[in-house]
Amino acid sequence: MTRGHTVGVIGAGIAGLACARELVAGGFDVTVFDKGRGLGGRTATRRAEPDLRFDHGAQFFTADDPLFREVTDDWLARGVVAEWIGRIIRLEDKTVIASSLEPRYVGMPGMSAMAVDLAVGLCVRTATQITAVTHGAVGWTIASEANETVGPFDTLVVTFPAPQTAALLGSHHFGAVASTVKMTPCWTVMAAFESRVELPWDGAFVHDSPLAWVARNSSKPGREREADCWVLQASPEWSADHLEAPADRVSKDLFEAFEDVIAGPLPLQRYAAAHRWRYGQYSEPDERRMLFDPRMGLAVCGDWLAGGRVEGAFLAGVRAAEAIREHREQELRDLWARGGP
């Protein structure tokens, strides 16, 4: 019933890929666009040197919703993800406070593994930065930074972070909704050390520090043979205050903050790099999961509509696909009720 209905999905993060996968399973003709060379958005994996990898975006995920739990169980069975058994704590004024014991999962061998798995069988165009979208009598057309125009598409799905969604959709009501969502930046430092950082834990939520999170990336399953690799993520407040700081200065400051947290010196660095997530976290995520305008054939979804987590992003994409499919099926039923095409 849906074959021949074309859908353009902007963004190859978890939300966009989950949406596209659901639509393709329903018979839709789907093309996914992403500006990056890889997949996954903030479930990204950075590779450096032959043997270094860093989860420099999302650090892990949890699974509470029954549908996402089912997907996670399938990933576990196929080795796409594994449970991270590392000791995770909270640090308040340098005092260790036990953290929750809920299962935490990571992609294998990097967080981008879930996106790669979701993309199997999909038409995905990477390295394609979308700069404008236009709705007309024949549907949606998409313009890229390379002055390429693609389309038309019967339905458009936008999975950008809220500020970029607002800029892309302009005067549409969904653009106005997105413009009200506030996002905070996040500076992330990736480091490999010449020797092991001797600590009795593998990850820590940090309070009262420029740092918000530190983790021994090499403690995660599938990374054990790598050097002692760490990911340091700054707090939203510190990141905003140092948004335009040079990357080498950010690395130096966050290493000093890490030494202050552990009350001791760090080993010599073998590798260090900083990455700025301009749109890192949501201060007040919207909880509607997705937005859908059936009249214009426009859906908006992403983790900013679902609590800002991997699970939320996945469910937002699935819900958007369900809304598109249900509307299309209703259109076809109405058409046949009027005597067919």
The whole-angstrom separation of Cα 307 and Cα 313 is 8
Report the CATH number of the 82-110+182-283 domain. Answer: 3.90.660.10
Q: What is the pTM of this model?
A: 0.91
Q: Classify the C-alpha dihedral 109-115-121-124 as positive or negative.
A: negative
Average pLDDT, whole number, for the chain? 91
Cβ atoms within 10 Å, residue 20: 30
Give residue 286's pLDDT band: very low, low, confident or very high (50, 70, 90).
Answer: low
pLDDT at residue 1 tops 70: no
* pLDDT tens, residue by residue, 2-17: 567 999 999 999 999 9
CATH 3.90.660.10 residue window(s) in the chain: 82-110+182-283
Q: Residue 341 has what pLDDT?
A: 57
Determine what percent of the chain is predicted with pLDDT higher than 70. 96
Report the CATH number of the 1-46+111-181+285-341 domain. Answer: 3.50.50.60
Helices and strands in the chain: count of H runs, count of E runs: 8, 20
Amino acid (1-letter code) at residue 86? G
- Those residues whose C-beta lies under 8 Å from the C-beta of residue 23, and which sit 6 or more positions away, are 7, 9, 30, 321, 324, 325
Task: Tell me the two tokens of residue 323.
Answer: 């809304």
3-state helix, strand, coil in the chain (%, to 5): 30, 30, 40
292 close to 317: Cβ distance less than 8 angstroms: no
* pLDDT tens, residue by residue, 18-76: 999 999 999 999 999 999 888 888 888 888 887 888 999 999 999 999 999 999 999 99
Cis amide prior to 103 (ω within 30 degrees): no
pLDDT at residue 101 tops 80: no
Q: Classify the C-alpha dihedral 217-222-226-228 as positive or negative.
A: positive
Q: Residue 80 has what pLDDT?
A: 98
CATH 3.50.50.60 residue window(s) in the chain: 1-46+111-181+285-341
